[in-house]
Amino acid sequence: MSMHDPPHPGEFIREIYMEPFGLSSRKVARSLNVAASTFIRLLHCESSVTPEMALRLAHVFGRTPESWLAMQDHYSLWHAKQKVDMRDVKKLELTSV
């Protein structure tokens, strides 16, 4: 079942971890061992979770890397479905030779 307008991982991090625990973006960036600007772009939904970032997030926040990547995939796919015009995309009829 697909989710309606799933959250970006950056939104999730802000709402579940940053705000309730009073974490600063610089503190989390240091824990992730990334530049503060890199983490801030993620928080502002300006960048996506990569496999490397998923590993870092899993280590710092505890969830699995797969869960971070799945969250990003759900967000990205939902937004692509809103934008991509599929009317002229035609299915191939594949038959074996």
Up-side HSE of residue 42: CA atoms within 13 Å toward CB?
26
Residue 72 belongs to some domain of the structure: yes
When divided into structural domains, the chain yields a total of 1
Residue 90 belongs to some domain of the structure: no
- Domain around 15: 9-82
Q: Kindly report, residue by residue over 59-85, the tens digit of the pLDDT.
A: 999 999 999 999 999 999 999 999 999
Residue 87 belongs to some domain of the structure: no
Residue 49 belongs to some domain of the structure: yes
Decide if pLDDT at 97 tops 90.
Answer: no
Decide if pLDDT at 2 tops 60.
Answer: no
Encoded tokens for 38 = 């890199």
CATH number, residue 70: 1.10.260.40
Residue 2 belongs to some domain of the structure: no
Predicted pLDDT at 4: 84
Encoded tokens for 85 = 């015009």
Residue 19 belongs to some domain of the structure: yes
